[in-house]
């Protein structure tokens, strides 16, 4: 019989390996609740094989059962760098709650729309998706890892990266992320719950942790657009040139685009200037300008 520490180590190793595989080749799907189930099933597929007690506890890809209306699915989270405990209340997994979450995903996951969003708008959209799934909290265990992978792979499909790893560096980082999630989830629960002791508990928690930011604010630190390759940047530049745009205007416009390689406007300006000053590009510009003058 494995100790708790040994079980956690074995679980962490098995799931980390499957996460690595999904980073290389994400699961395809419709970005719905079935897609979420498939990710959970993939991540935790090895655990039932570790022994009878594991098979009894882990049901990869299966939602948890509905909770009676007079009970709550809650968690008392022990923080890393604070003596306080964060109480968070999730859904009861009623058919109505599942329907709402499924309908939300069908509306929210519009890939052409997500791809066309500014970084600020996309961050708000992906945060809303995360909070909705976190509040549903559909699995008996492994919700965080499953939802992080769901949103990470969705963001990548839309042309963005979510750097969740930035909240693993210190205990304070851990607390900021998990309190951001809990506060956002509890904001939904407070609106839905009738007057009761648990609602008062969540309202007190909101006041107690008022200094912490909710998830949409925290995610502004970790959502970044995926930068274009040199070839992709060149293709965009050539498209502007074919449209008859002035080279200096092209540089000025694209230097503000975070998808162009570079950490800031100055480095992007230098990058674009060098690209447009190569012999091949100078000839291409002259040829296009000559054609426009005819």
Supply 247's token pair: 């080279």
The percentage of residues in the chain with a pLDDT greater than 70, rounded to a whole number, is 98
Give the model's confidence band at 57: pLDDT under 50 very low, under 70 low, under 90 confident, else very high. Answer: confident
The pLDDT-based confidence of 55 (bands split at 50, 70, 90) is confident
pLDDT at 54: 75
What does the pLDDT read at residue 150?
Answer: 98
End-to-end CA, the chain: 83
Torsion 78-59-8-126 (CA) sign: negative
- What domains can be seen in the chain, in order of their start residue? 63-225 (1.10.3290), 230-293 (no CATH)
> 253 and 237 in contact (C-beta within 8 Å)?
no
56 pLDDT band (50/70/90 cuts)?
A: confident
* β-strand partners of 223: 162
Contacts of 47 (CB under 8 A, 6+ apart): 11, 14, 15, 54, 57, 58, 60
Question: pLDDT for 238-264, tens place per residue?
Answer: 999 999 899 999 999 999 999 999 989
């Amino acid at each position: 019989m494995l100790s708790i520490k040994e079980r956690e180590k074995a679980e962490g190793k098995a799931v980390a390996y499957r996460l690595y595989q999904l980073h290389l080749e994400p699961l395809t799907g419709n970005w719905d609740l079935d897609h979420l189930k498939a990710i959970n099933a993939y991540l935790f597929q090895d655990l039932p094989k570790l022994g009878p007690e594991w098979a009894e506890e882990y049901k990869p890809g299966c939602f948890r059962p509905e909770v009676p209306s007079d009970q709550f699915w809650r968690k008392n989270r022990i923080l890393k760098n604070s003596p306080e405990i964060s109480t968070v209340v999730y859904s009861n997994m009623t058919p109505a709650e599942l329907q709402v979450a499924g309908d939300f995903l069908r509306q929210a996951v519009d890939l052409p729309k997500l791809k066309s969003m500014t970084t600020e708008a996309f961050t708000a959209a992906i945060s809303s998706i995360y909070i909705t799934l976190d509040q549903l909290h559909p699995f008996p265990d492994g919700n965080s890892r499953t939802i992080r992978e769901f949103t990470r792979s969705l963001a990548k499909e839309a042309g963005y990266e979510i750097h969740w790893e930035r909240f693993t560096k210190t205990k304070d980082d851990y607390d900021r992320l998990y309190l951001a999630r809990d506060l956002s989830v509890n904001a939904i629960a407070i609106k839905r719950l009738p007057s009761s002791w648990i609602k008062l508990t969540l309202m007190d928690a909101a006041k107690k942790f008022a200094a912490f930011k909710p998830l949409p604010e925290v995610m502004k630190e970790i959502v970044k657009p995926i930068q274009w390759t040199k070839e992709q940047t060149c293709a965009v530049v050539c498209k502007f040139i074919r449209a008859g745009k002035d080279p200096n205007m092209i540089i000025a416009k694209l230097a503000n685009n975070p998808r162009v390689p570079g950490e800031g406007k100055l480095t992007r300006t230098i990058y674009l200037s060098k690209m447009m000053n190569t012999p091949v590009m100078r000839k291409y510009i002259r040829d296009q300008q000559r054609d426009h003058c005819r």
